[in-house]
Amino acid sequence: MSFDQKYVFKSERLGFRNWLGSDIELMAKINTDEKVMEFFPGIVSKDQTIEFIERMQKQFKEQGFCYFAVDKLENNKFIGFIGLSEKSFEAEFTPCIDIGWRLSSEEWNKGYATEGAKRCLEYANEVLKLEKIVSIAPKINVKSERVMKKIGMEKVMEFEHPLLINDERLRDCVLYQITINKI
């Protein structure tokens, strides 16, 4: 497989692809970084990372999208994920397609989350023909909310996340939405 063929699509600086077994250790390292996991209930174990990657591989195979593994094109370095995933927890807006990102803290403040999310929205519109994408974050995660605004999403509501209901710090969340295929 040539360098270009391994990517489902690219942005100016990033390549988006399905997950590989070699990503497990790298993603597990990101999932145990306390800065990265600040707005989650806790760090994610290696076994949970493996389950996540297997779920993303299956979703990509079945639907043509997932939270894509992301590499920097300049050096082919894996930096985390940006992409789309189905959400089906119990809420008035589910089931839905969520756009999300989790990048190595070494790669923060370089515009990768915004660049990658914009490119994922283009893919969702042009290839997948999706109409509506949402993004969810705890209210205290203003960094993610800033990315949501930068990619053109609008705040729809605040809600108590049913999977975080017992976490006083994280349960109050924001829901942003964008309609991308207005045909």
Tens of pLDDT along 128-178?
999 999 999 999 999 999 999 999 999 999 999 988 888 898 999 999 999
With b for 16 or more beta-carbon neighbours within 10 A and e for fewer, the 105-114 pattern comes to: eebeeeebbb
Please, which pLDDT band fits residue 1 given cuts at 50, 70 and 90? Answer: very low
Asked if pLDDT for residue 182 goes beyond 60, the answer is no
The predicted-structure confidence for 87-127, as pLDDT tens digits, reads as follows: 998 889 999 999 999 999 999 999 999 999 999 999 999 99
> 176: burial class by Cβ within 10 Å (0-12, 13-18, 19+)?
buried
Q: Which has the higher per-residue pLDDT, 2 or 42?
A: 42
Task: For residues 108 and 111, give the distance between their C-alpha atoms in angstroms, rounded to a whole number.
Answer: 7
Residue 126 neighbours by CB under 8 Å, 6+ apart = none
* Contact status, residue 61 vs residue 39, Cβ threshold 8 Å: no
Mean pLDDT of 30-46: 93
Return the amino acid letter for 164.
Answer: L
Mean pLDDT of 37-60: 94
The DSSP bridge partners found for residue 82 are 68, 101
How many helices (H) and strands (E) are present in the chain, helices listed first?
4, 8
* Exposure of 122 in the CB half-sphere (CA atoms within 13 A): 11
Q: Which has the higher per-residue pLDDT, 181 or 33?
A: 33
Q: What number of other Cβ atoms are within 10 A of residue 19's Cβ?
A: 21
Please, which pLDDT band fits residue 5 given cuts at 50, 70 and 90? Answer: low
Q: Which CATH class is domain 4-179?
A: alpha beta
Q: Output the CA–CA distances (angstroms, integers) from residue 141 to 15, 26, 176, in the order listed.
A: 26, 24, 13
User: What long-range pairs does 112-115 form, CB within 8 A, spacing at least 24?
Assistant: 112/13, 112/14, 112/70, 112/72, 112/79, 112/82, 113/82, 113/144, 113/147, 114/147, 114/150, 114/151, 115/11, 115/12, 115/13, 115/14
